[in-house]
Amino acid sequence: MKPFELLKPQPGLRVLITGAASGIGAAMARAFVDVDAQVVICDVDAAAVERFTSASASLYGCVADVSDAAQVGQVTALAERALGGLDLLINNAGIAGPTGAIEEIDAQQWEQTVTTNLNGQFNFLRKAVPLMKATSQRAGIITMSSVAGRLGYAFRTPYAAMKWALVGLTRSLAVELGPSDIRVNAILPGVVEGERMDRVIAARAESLGVSETAMRDEYLKKISLRRMVTVDDVSAMALFLASPAARNITGQAISVDGNVEYL
C-alpha cells in the first residue's frame, strides 16, 4: 500500500462517539461517515440526536447520560447489535464545569464535573474494551482532552483537573492495552471557532467592560499561529489516528490548537 493510501481509515470501520449530536462530536461523526464508517453516537439531548441521526443511514444514535453506567451499557449494546462489534471509541462527552476561585467552587458542581468528564469516560471504557478485544484487529481509543490538559487554567480548576486526568488515563491505557493491539491517544483541542466560542468571548467582554473585538484579539494573542482551530481540524486528527498511517502511534497527547501558549 502506498503511503498516501494509509491516510484514510479502512471502509466499514465501526465507531462509537459519545456526546456527538452537536459540536466537535458531530463534526467527527460526519467525517467518519464520509469515509464510509458506520457510526453510533449518544448524547443527552434527545431532539439533537433525532435530528442528527436522521441525516444518514450510516448513523445510529441513542440518548444517554455518560455518568449513568446503566445507560452507557445500553449504548454499547446498541453498538454491538447495530455494528456487529467495535473498532474505535471516541470518548468525547464532557461539560464545562464551574468557573471561580477554588474556595468558592460549589462541591456539588465539582462532583458533577468529575462524574461526567472522568467517570463518564471510565464507564464507556470498561464496556467498550471487551468488545474491541473480542472482535477487532484495528482497534483504537481516542480520548478528547483539551489544551487545558497541558496548561494551568486559573479559575477553571475542575475542568482542567479532569482534562489532565484524561491524559494520564490515556497514557496508562496505552501501556495496558498495547499487547492487545489497541492503540490509545488523546486529542487536545485549543480555542475552537464557532458559536460557543463567540458566546464565551461576548460574555467575557461584557464582564470586563471591553469590546468583543478587543476580547477576541486577546484570545488570539495567546495562540502562536494567531488563529483559532475549527471542528474540521479536530476531525482530521481523529481520522488520521484511526487510519493505518497511525498504526504505531499510541500513548500520545496531541494538541490541535495552533500552539496555545497560556490560558
- In the chain, the amino acid numbered 94 is G
Query: Taking all residues of the chain, what is their mean pLDDT, rounded to a whole number?
Result: 94
Number of H helices, E strands in the chain: 9, 7
Q: Quick check: 136 pLDDT over 80?
A: no
Q: Quick check: 139 pLDDT over 90?
A: no
* CA–CA–CA angle 62, 64, 70 (5° rounding): 115
**How far is residue 250's CA from residue 182's CA, in Å, rounded to a whole number?**
9
Question: pLDDT per residue over 66-93, tens digit each?
Answer: 999 999 999 999 999 999 999 999 999 9
Question: pLDDT per residue over 225-239, tens digit each?
Answer: 999 999 999 999 999
Q: What's the pLDDT score for residue 234? A: 98
Q: Quick check: 202 pLDDT over 90?
A: no
Q: Give the mean pLDDT of 200-218.
A: 88
Could you give the residue numbers annotated as active site?
Answer: 159
**How far is residue 198's CA from residue 155's CA, in Å, rounded to a whole number?**
20
Contacts with 61 (C-beta within 8 Å, 6 or more apart), sequence order: 21, 40, 41, 42, 43, 49, 50, 52, 53
pLDDT-based confidence at residue 99 (cuts at 50, 70, 90): confident
Instruction: Cell 496531541: give the residue.
Output: 254
Question: pLDDT per residue over 155-182, tens digit each?
Answer: 899 999 999 999 999 999 999 999 999 9
Positive or negative torsion for Cα 125, 58, 253, 146:
negative
According to CATH, where is 3.40.50.720 located in the chain?
7-191+230-256
Which grid cell is 221? Answer: 494573542
Q: What is the pTM of this model?
A: 0.94
Q: What's the pLDDT score for residue 2? A: 67
Q: Which CATH superfamily is domain 7-191+230-256 in?
A: NAD(P)-binding Rossmann-like Domain (3.40.50.720)
